[in-house]
Amino acid sequence: MDESLVNDLRIVLNDNRVRVGAVDQSLFSRDASVFDGGDAGPICFPLTTAEVADCVKVARRHGRSFVARGSGTGLAGGAVPIDQPVVIVTTKMNQIIEVDEENRVAWVEPGVINLDLTRALAPHGLHFAPDPSSQQTCSVGGNVANNSGGPHCLAYGVTGAHILAVEVVLSDGEIAMLGGLEPDPAGYDLRGVFVGSEGLLGITTRIAVRLTPNPPAVATLLLDFPDLRSAATTVSAIIAAGIVPAALEMMDANAVKMVEDYVGAGYPRDAAAVLLAEVDGLIDGCAREQELITQIGHDHGANVRVAADEAERALLWKGRKTAFGAVASFAPRYYLHDTVVPRTKLVEVLERVIDIAAGHDLTIINVFHAGDGNLHPILAFDPTDDPTVWDRVHSAGRAIVETSLAAGGVLSGEHGIGIEKRDYMALLFSADDLIAQDRIRAAFDPDRVANPGKVLPSGSSCGEVQHLRHMPEGAWL
């Protein structure tokens, strides 16, 4: 460890907010992804925007890169440090600064936990609409970095639709405000560029979030099916009927059994698949959409149950939100993928994903945002029983990505690219596309010191991009 770097960081932060011990470095060298190869430098815990800027300036003086980190719930390796950068952790910046109920705006720090924000807004009859499955632990800053979604993004949109402005520390330590509270801020939409940039353009230090009124009526329906195909075709039928539910989530038989064993959410154990559908809005409209979804479900062979009260509704959602945690009761490790396919291709892609898992002798668990085609196939496994299983897991993962792209899909819906899908970018984007993305990054970070090694493959600059398509399979490992 560079003692001079550590000492300079301790000058701008007090001693106990700069950590270099082996335990801390091990903990902050990984996130919730399967990527274990991180290598953290000094770990800093700033409290203010000025302290974040000071940490960046110190890192630059010492010729070091830096990585922003929130709660560490990312699943694509986006916060995994490479080559001992300064790790700037924003979890202590966790204040809700201001709530403007009249204009439905709140200013928050990046370390505010997503669910804590919504709970704090409850007395105002408002909430923050993006609700990832990691809602209880993920931070709003992380949501901004990955443009996160969640079950209710079908009707309400992903994080970018709910961010008005972001204060950021750029790669030279300067502070900038992107976006604004005006209905149509002047100039380029740099806020839109920044949201979803995965830490490559700077570090978020304050966020103006758009607040959503709580709906007057909500209905939550559980539809269970005798086969997966019927559930998938029901999704398309609901949308084709002109209904855009607040949420439309699917779980297969393996997921249902694991969730019931884990939390007892009240899902029927004999179902081949379930849909969790939620509609909200004005009372009469909500009742009409509930009636239509019930009829469509019956037409496709489903049993339909409507949550009788808030307690039952909360239990149904608890099952969905804890599904990924339930996998741990079945296997010690899992690889959770994140691709998006057209709704019309759900059936064929799901069937292909099941075949891929079977062909690699892996257990597949499907839990996903069916309404917008955002798949989350889970490959569950135990590496202690078979050390070679990793090869099968990553081979199956690549096949799932290729299948999704062949169906007209994209690499990620909400988890981001990070390290995980970095070397797949050339499968989706042309050389010109990648060069354009790299030029945008260079406009913010010309020396490419903010979260290096993520998203854009090595060689994304003009002179090297032609080599991208020849990178070896699994190079990110």
| CATH code of residue 233 | 3.30.70.2190
- On whether both 166 and 100 belong to a single domain, the answer is yes
In the chain, how many domains are there?
Answer: 5
Query: Could you tell me if 105 and 164 lie in one domain?
Result: yes
Q: Does the pTM exceed 0.95?
A: no
Residues 6+ apart with CB under 8 A from 183: none
pLDDT given at position 41: 97
What is the predicted pLDDT for the residue at 468? 35
Q: Are residues 124 and 112 in the same domain?
A: yes
Q: Report d(CA 31, CA 244) in Å as an integer.
A: 34
Predicted pLDDT at 461: 60
Which of 44, 27, 42, 18 is CA-nearest to residue 80?
A: 27
Residue 460 confidence class, pLDDT cut points 50, 70, 90: low
Q: Look up the CATH number of the domain holding residue 107.
A: 3.30.465.10
Tell me the pLDDT band of 475, cut-offs 50, 70 and 90: very low
Give the whole-number percent of the chain exceeding pLDDT 90.
90
Predicted local distance difference test score (pLDDT) of residue 462: 47
Mean per-residue pLDDT, 5-16: 94
Per-residue pLDDT reduced to its tens digit, 71-90? 999 999 999 999 999 999 99
Cα–Cα distance measured from residue 46 to residue 18, given in angstroms and rounded to the nearest whole number: 9
- The pLDDT tens digits for 332-341 are 999 999 999 9
Least confident of 211-220, 286-295, 342-351: 342-351
The residue length of the chain stands at 477
Backbone angles phi, psi at 366, to 5 degrees: -105, 120
pLDDT band at 12 (very low <50, low <70, confident <90, very high): very high
Domain-embedded: residue 414? no
- Last residue of some domain: 290, 309, 325? 325
The CATH number of residue 369's host domain is 3.30.70.2740
| Structural domain contains residue 126 | yes
- Listed in sequence order, the DSSP H helices in 300-387 are 310-321, 323-327, 346-359
Max Cα distance, the chain (Å): 70
- Residue that terminates a domain, selected from 178, 213, 248: 213
**Distances, alpha carbon 432 to alpha carbons 220, 410, 427, 458, 465, in Å:** 45, 17, 13, 15, 8
| pLDDT over threshold 50, residue 271 | yes
Q: Which residue has the higher pLDDT, 476 or 367?
A: 367
Residue 204 predicted with pLDDT over 80? yes
Q: What is the pLDDT of residue 434?
A: 97
Domain that holds residue 291: 217-325
Same domain assignment for residues 74 and 34: yes
Residue 455 lies in a domain: yes
Which pLDDT does position 464 carry in this prediction?
A: 38
- Looking at 213, 234, 254, the residue that finishes a domain is 213
